[in-house]
């Protein structure tokens, strides 16, 4: 039987008290998740017992490291249900992967007058890289607007699609509001115009099963640290033909066939796209995080985070003076709200005194906040270790803060 309390025990950070002596109530999982012992131990063991480089070194421990590193590629392939292992490229994170696809895929294919489509709810990471290349090339960056409910205006998307569109980049889930996008619908519409589709899955992979074959997306990216893995590692999924037709994401050692002073020829992907010594420990740790997710299983993870989200929404909506942002039936485990008369930063300082971690601000989504006429919101977001008791502690603290500040 699934029990979040026993899951919590697998995360060493919760065994400690905060500097003020409380239990830690961690509700900023959309920013980054805590790490289970299995991931921490795997990284420690790697450094302590089997550390070497990856590539063609023919000695132990490098042979062991190379085998383990490449096994993680297979694990990620299965996690995303990708058709081929070589469709998985390791990056340093979501931001890195987006910049690399922007440079290596979009830039050479974009001409003046072309169009790139994003949505109004993108994280700055899935906006600025495309924006900068559009500006450089004299191309147009068009935006799928959101409705007042926070959902994307899918009909507006259909009117934006033409054969001038060179890429559509959209997030699976709004990191600021928790709104889930109908990726199947978006991708189907885009494919009608043969538009390549790039999915920012940074907020998706921790709680919901992804199937890149069923989705039919060309690219999909996420970060290790948001799925119980280490920082500094991320994944770029790219369809085989896309990764093959692209120039290397960056240049350096480990990716070449033959090099002269004048020229270089390159290996096939994924090697072609992983120049330099990669974040080996990060990748190994990511493998342990994928194992951790698989051991619990997406069915349990989704059911649990959904139940916690529902419980939190119910409690928040029962409070006076709280406005939950975004009006949808089914949301990811991310809730943004404002408390009347209390600025989100003051709220977060108060909650910190209770050992409760929430996020306050614009959540790296300024265009979305402008659209909603908000300067800042308080955001809570959940992971597999959060319990109803966490929500109860939050609600009590919210009421105390409200009584004191407003």
Partner 1 sequence: MNDRIKALYQSHILVNAKDTSHQGKLEDATHVLEAYNPMCGDQYTVSLKIVDDVIEKATFDGFGCAISKASTAVLTKQIEGKTLVEIKPFIELFHELVNELSDQSPESLTSDEDLLAFAAAREFPERKVCATLSWEELLLSLRGSMMK
Ligand X SMILES: Cc1ncc(COP(=O)(O)O)c(C=O)c1O
- Smallest distance, Å, CB 7 to ligand X? 23
- 3-state secondary structure string across 388-399: HHHHHHHHHHHH
Annotate each residue in 103-132 with x if it binds ligand X (CB under 6 A) or - if it does not, as one string: --------------------x-xx------
Distances (CA, A) of 369 to 203, 325, 336, 341, 349: 18, 10, 11, 18, 21
**Residue 234: partners with Cβ closer than 8 Å, 6 or more residues away:** 90, 91, 92, 93, 94, 95, 96, 97, 221, 222, 223, 224
Question: Among 34, 203, 348, 401, which residue interacts with ligand X (rule: CB under 6 A)?
Answer: 203
* 375 binding partner 1? (CB under 8 A): yes
Question: Among 46, 350, 382, 385, which residue interacts with partner 1 (rule: CB under 8 A)?
Answer: 350
Which of 56-64, 92-100, 331-339, 354-362 is the region at the interface with partner 1 (rule: CB under 8 A)? 354-362
* 2 binding partner 1? (CB under 8 A): no
* 171 binding ligand X? (CB under 6 A): yes
* 362 binding partner 1? (CB under 8 A): yes
Measured between alpha carbons, how far apart are the two ends of the chain, in Å?
43
- Whether the ω angle into residue 193 lies within 30 degrees of 0, i.e. cis, is no
Q: How many CB atoms lie within 10 A of CB 148?
A: 9
364 is known as an active-site residue: yes
- Whether the ω angle into residue 61 lies within 30 degrees of 0, i.e. cis, is yes
Q: Is 221 helix (H, G, I), strand (E, B) or coil?
A: strand
94, interface contact from ligand X, partner 1, none, CB < 5-8 Å by kind: ligand X
> Could you give the CA distance from residue 49 to residue 366 in angstroms, rounded to a whole number?
45
Annotate each residue in 310-349 with x if it binds partner 1 (CB under 8 A) or - if it does not, as one string: --------------------------------xxxxx--x
Question: Among 65, 68, 95, 401, which residue interacts with ligand X (rule: CB under 6 A)?
Answer: 95
Distance of CA 359 to the CA centre of its chain: 16
- Smallest distance, Å, CB 11 to partner 1? 24
Q: Is 238 helix (H, G, I), strand (E, B) or coil?
A: strand
Q: Is 166 helix (H, G, I), strand (E, B) or coil?
A: strand
180, interface contact from ligand X, partner 1, none, CB < 5-8 Å by kind: none
Q: How many CB atoms lie within 10 A of CB 180?
A: 20
* 300 binding partner 1? (CB under 8 A): no
* 239 binding ligand X? (CB under 6 A): no
**Cβ nearer to partner 1, comparing 52 with 355:** 355
Residues serving a catalytic function are: 364
Chain positions contacting ligand X, by CB under 6 A: 93-95, 123, 125-126, 171, 175, 200, 202-203, 223
Chain positions contacting partner 1, by CB under 8 A: 20, 342-346, 349-350, 353, 360-362, 366, 369, 375-376, 400, 404-405
């Amino acid at each position: 039987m699934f029990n979040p309390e026993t899951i919590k025990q697998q995360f060493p950070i919760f065994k400690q008290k905060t500097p003020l002596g409380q239990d830690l109530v961690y509700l900023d999982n959309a920013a980054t998740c805590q790490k289970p012992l299995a991931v921490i131990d795997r990284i420690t063991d790697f450094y302590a017992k089997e550390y070497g480089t990856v590539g063609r070194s023919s000695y132990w421990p490098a042979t062991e490291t190379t085998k383990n590193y490449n096994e993680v590629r297979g694990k990620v392939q299965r996690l995303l249900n990708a058709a081929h292992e070589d469709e998985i490229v390791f990056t340093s994170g979501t931001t890195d992967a987006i910049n690399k696809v922007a440079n290596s895929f979009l830039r050479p294919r974009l001409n003046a007058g072309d169009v790139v489509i994003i949505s109004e709810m993108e994280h700055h990471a899935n906006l600025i890289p495309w924006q900068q290349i559009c500006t450089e090339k004299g191309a147009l960056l068009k935006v799928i607007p959101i409705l007042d409910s926070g959902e994307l205006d899918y009909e507006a998307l259909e009117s934006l699609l033409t054969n001038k569109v060179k890429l559509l980049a959209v997030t699976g889930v709004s990191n600021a509001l928790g709104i889930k996008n109908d990726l199947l619908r978006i991708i189907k519409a885009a494919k009608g115009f043969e538009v390549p589709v790039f999915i920012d899955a940074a907020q998706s992979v921790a709680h919901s099963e992804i199937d890149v074959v069923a989705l039919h997306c060309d690219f999909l990216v996420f970060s290790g640290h948001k799925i119980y893995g280490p920082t500094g590692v991320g994944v770029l999924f790219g369809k085989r033909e896309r990764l093959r037709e692209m120039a290397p994401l960056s240049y350096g050692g480990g990716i070449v066939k033959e090099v002269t002073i004048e020229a270089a020829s390159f290996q096939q992907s994924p090697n072609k796209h992983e120049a330099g010594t990669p974040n080996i420990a990060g990748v190994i740790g990511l493998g342990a995080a994928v194992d951790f997710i698989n051991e619990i299983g997406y069915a349990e993870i989704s059911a649990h985070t959904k139940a916690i989200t529902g419980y939190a929404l119910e409690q928040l909506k029962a409070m006076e003076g709280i406005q939950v942002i975004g009006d949808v039936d089914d949301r990811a485990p991310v809730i943004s709200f404002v408390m009347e008369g209390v600025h989100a930063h003051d709220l977060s300082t108060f909650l910190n005194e209770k050992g409760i971690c929430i996020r306050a601000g614009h959540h790296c989504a300024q265009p979305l906040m402008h659209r909603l006429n908000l300067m800042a919101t308080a955001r809570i977001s959940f992971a597999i270790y959060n319990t109803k008791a966490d929500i109860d502690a939050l609600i009590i603290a919210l009421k105390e803060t409200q009584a004191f500040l407003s």
